[in-house]
Structure 1
């Protein structure tokens, strides 16, 4: 967040939201939503976000980082056991359509430029979990920011939220709360009746990494902070009192945040 806000990687941010989530294996990932002060124009998207394999002759380091961290799967017939596969199809909609130019979309995320090998696009070889090698093109690249990828050498997916639908999707992850699970206790003593209330318990899973991080860092951030304003007429605010502080509240009523 310091790199994005203070370094102004995408420009000056007017406000932002972020939330850190934890996978069951104890690995964290963060969802960040930025509102930029200057609106991002369609012609500026290619300068900030890329969905193509970099040229190894120009930047070998960036090329290796993208091939290692930003290639989806690959899934499909070559890898039907990939976690994203459901009913024989990729739930993440890969491979994506190859395009010569970025196409702006008002109903979701833009369709980023993904040039085919015949149009100047590049290919790369990645290794599957079974040990076999597969050649992929730009249709398998997850959109990324060259600056952030090269700086952190990690999987960092960067998208342009050009519609309310896309913003609601990100806010769903930020505001959905902690993961929960339902588990079952079985009583092997047949003499005692089953207590359904105690059988099913609602809980949440907290890994050791999340427990430590929740003490050391802020898992949820929002700027600017939303403050509740008590709207009321002049001298019409609510005053709570009891028999012990009655005279004190009359002489010095509590200050409120807002009045008309």
Structure 2
């Protein structure tokens, strides 16, 4: 048997999909596209009569387009080849009718939640029970949506700065634990907010927060105000930034072709596996959009 090594590489900071995991975890590396498409049917392979499959590689500039349009027999043919483009247009249709969103809210799981810690033995960590963390996070996420919709808690959004430790000790501790970026700059050059030796955040120490939400959910809650229609594209790109991926190469010796061996694969961690096993919704859009098969000129 020949010995080989697997090298996992980290991409630049502007490609967060390829960031190395911060926790010790069990994961699967899948080479190819979405795993759902791999088990659903058959592939169609295009190759020349000589048996060499180079057509796709040599025509990337032609294939990687948002919109194709060409003439054939005096008929204009328009093909939208990108799934994401259609999804983006669906959301723009909602905005056209209902108006732009006001708030963009994200929630992060806290592995120290009492609901998780109370179920672990003294020798276990949250990483040992990704099924438990997945269930607890989903339950709190659904409750957060109900609180936002029924209690109007986001009306109090906008506080910033570190609360006084003497008068508000619990809020002071929660802000330091979840809402503070840093230290960075000369104190920590490896901070995620650092780029070319400078902090890329305007306020690197603390971000705005909602006291009621922060104390109740005890986790990082990022609330952003959508100030203009231009922010919609940013929100869309954030929600559909893609799956976690890993840059890796496999080689048998110190002499290898790095370009030939490089593989851009999908990284599937245990929480994502359990989220799919429990059949929790991956996304939801409300109100729904029905696409009419009507084509305007061009």
Q: Which has the higher helix share?
A: 2
Greater relative CO, 1 or 2 (CA 8 Å, sep 6+): 2
TM-score normalised by L of structure 1: 0.49
TM-score normalised by L of structure 2: 0.43
